[in-house]
Structure 1
Amino acid sequence: MLNKQIRLFGEVLFDQFPDGQRVLGGAPFNVAWHLQAFGQHPDFISRVGNDSEGLHIKQAMLSWGLSLENLQTDPTLSTGSVQITVMDGEPCYDIVDNQAYDFISATELKGYSHSEGVLYHGSLALRHDVSAATFDKLLNEHLGKIFVDVNLRHPWWQIERVIQLLDRADWAKLSQDELRLLQPVSGSLTETMRVFRKSHNLDVLMVTCGEQGAMAINKHNEFFEVVPADNVSVVDTVGAGDAFSAVALLGMQHAWPVPLILQRAQAFASAMVGRQGATVQDLSFYQAYIHAWQLAHLIED
């Protein structure tokens, strides 16, 4: 089981609001949080500072049952943070540079050699050479599938680097807007997706389209589409994409058909937008999905 884990590489951080409120997050962390609730026991690979924020993260992970095996502690650098300010009523995000997650150490990795299962990563945590080199080491010894979750955060991405990551992936998920930034529009959305999937030789490309739902194309150029239910109540869209990715990874791990993955990922993401924040600390929230998707044996194990 250990060698078949879903492994997630990347950032864990706090969103720091002007009123002093702190919200724990980071796309890979949010995805790992959901997968733990679904009984997957993921291996979360990141780095925090030797500070109060790092201690808070460790306590939160332990209380949720997440393993700390590959959560490294940096002796000098701070735990990741995003400083949020509001200008003219609109939030502005300053993703602070030189944070602990930028320096994930290859020498401190545990239990990763020749791992199978699925390896998930985004693009933000690869902005610095140290974490990028560590990820390359992971990738070179990984025997399973690679899932890239594109998160383009200005100014922390370069198109050449993102293209390189996509060329090494098996599955990719990105938003409709991110697709347009990376691929010149070729007529319809479906045609643009077809060209993009082919150019990166992806097994599956998934594109989220906000309130319009999501689409996917596989290596046989078959398209699948899902739309949200009419009665979706939106409280907070933060973390909806991470919820979608978590279920996509769950489906990869258990060989669900792509249309079923789309349906279940959209349903879970729609439920998440009805909640405040990117994670849920109430296990009962997950019970309906655990029952409907027949995951109870994973929780018992």
Structure 2
Amino acid sequence: MPADSITIFGEALFDCFADGSRILGGAPFNVAWHLQGLGAEPLFVSRIGRDSAGAELLAAMQTQGMRQNGVEIDAARPTGSVTVSIDNGQPSYHILAEQAYDYIAAPELPIGHESGLLYHGSLALRHGVSRATFEQIKPQWRGPVFFDVNLRAPWWNADDIHTWIADADWLKLNDEELALLLPEHQAIDSKLLLLQQRYDLQGVVVTRGEHGALALTAGGEFVEVKPAGSVTVVDTVGAGDAFAAVLLMGIARGWPLASALERAQDFASAIVGQRGATVSDPEFYRRFREAWH
């Protein structure tokens, strides 16, 4: 496995909107999709149903050029779906229980003693089966673990989140999630320092919407980035996932943190100008690949 390889573990689903449209989603899937578009060729590990939605998802992955050998097929449970409501550009989510991604099974996965980056969120670990699979994979891993917090009520509790932070090397979350996990009245930089020191993280990054992002390294260096100019917002679904994808590329390929954050912010700013979290137009990704080369 190449040194800059990235494995993504978690949910694949459809975001279903009030107008009847639906768009491929799930934070880990979004991250894997963007990485593929940007040329990183990740391994995406998930589980989908043997249904029309699952077939549509696999067809989209094939069109995008994504590997499918990490995606399991479940004959008993449906491909994941989420109802998304947009209010003033901000999404809210209704997430169903007992979806195929809750049952990712270790014996079926093409994973042994691996290196490279391992990315995961929190939603796919809500169920005991997928959680046990992840807990079986992680001790075998020889590379850094990147934990992307996704707090979706009612599918999380603080004790679990802090346990997964303790097992991570890199942590990403947004400012609202940071406030939920650390409700004390402290400045954001103080909270980042607390997390970094408590869990000995290589890096912790908080995204702040229109205000950009702030990161803290293990060496105690704060790095801040803000959007360049005005940003046209269609919706913010998946903006954090877009940011995470580029940040993962930066870590895997050894970019300076300031450059990784700036590129992640630029890419996330472009995503909020699109409907939904994923983009099917290869031209959208090509201009970023060329600029970063």
TM-score (norm 2): 0.95
**8 A Cα contact 1:3 1:115, kept in partner:** no
In structure 2, what is the equivalent of residue 297 of structure 1?
A: none
Question: How far is 1:231 from its partner?
Answer: 2.3
Question: How far is 1:21 from its partner?
Answer: 2.1
Question: How far is 1:233 from its partner?
Answer: 1.4
Percent identity between matched residues is 49
Tell me, yes or no, if structure 1 residue 32 matches structure 2 residue 64. no
One-letter identity of the residue aligned with 1:199: R
In structure 2, what is the equivalent of residue 220 of structure 1?
A: 219
Q: What is the alpha-carbon root mean square deviation over aligned residues?
A: 1.9
In structure 2, what is the equivalent of residue 71 of structure 1?
A: 71
Question: How far is 1:236 from its partner?
Answer: 1.6
Matches within 5 A, 1:9-28: 9-28=9-28
Change (3 A) 1:86 1:239: closer
Tell me, yes or no, if structure 1 residue 260 matches structure 2 residue 259. yes
The C-alpha deviation readout for 1:65-97, integer Å capped at 9, x for no partner, is: 00110100001111101134689x997532000
Matches within 5 A, 1:51-90: 51-84=51-84
Quick one: distance in 1 between partners of 2:196 and 2:84? Answer: 35
Quick one: distance in 2 between partners of 1:101 and 1:231? Answer: 37
Quick one: distance in 2 between partners of 1:199 and 1:4? Answer: 28
In structure 2, what is the equivalent of residue 160 of structure 1?
A: 159
Quick one: distance in 2 between partners of 1:90 and 1:28? Answer: 20
**8 A Cα contact 1:183 1:196, kept in partner:** no
Question: Mind listing any 5+ residue stretches in structure 1 that lack a counterpart?
Answer: 295-301
Matches within 5 A, 1:56-205: 56-84=56-84, 93-110=93-110, 112-185=111-184, 187-205=186-204
In structure 1, what is the equivalent of residue 205 of structure 2?
A: 206
Question: How far is 1:173 from its partner?
Answer: 0.5
Question: How far is 1:63 from its partner?
Answer: 0.8
The alignment partner of 1:275 has SS state of coil
Change (3 A) 1:226 1:90: closer
The C-alpha deviation readout for 1:79-136, integer Å capped at 9, x for no partner, is: 101134689x9975320000000000011011x1111010000000000000001111
In structure 1, what is the equivalent of residue 274 of structure 2?
A: 275
TM-score (norm 1): 0.93
Change (3 A) 1:85 1:176: closer
Quick one: distance in 1 between partners of 2:27 and 2:284? Answer: 20
**8 A Cα contact 2:90 2:236, kept in partner:** no
The alignment partner of 1:247 has SS state of helix
The alignment partner of 2:114 has SS state of coil
Quick one: distance in 2 between partners of 1:148 and 1:90? Answer: 23
**8 A Cα contact 2:114 2:143, kept in partner:** yes
Question: How far is 1:140 from its partner?
Answer: 1.0
Quick one: distance in 1 between partners of 2:255 and 2:3? Answer: 20
Quick one: distance in 2 between partners of 1:279 and 1:255? Answer: 25
The alignment partner of 1:20 has SS state of coil
Question: Mind listing any 5+ residue stretches in structure 2 that lack a counterpart?
Answer: none
Question: How far is 1:53 from its partner?
Answer: 0.4
Deviates more, 1:230-239 or 1:14-23: 14-23
Quick one: distance in 2 between partners of 1:20 and 1:287? Answer: 30
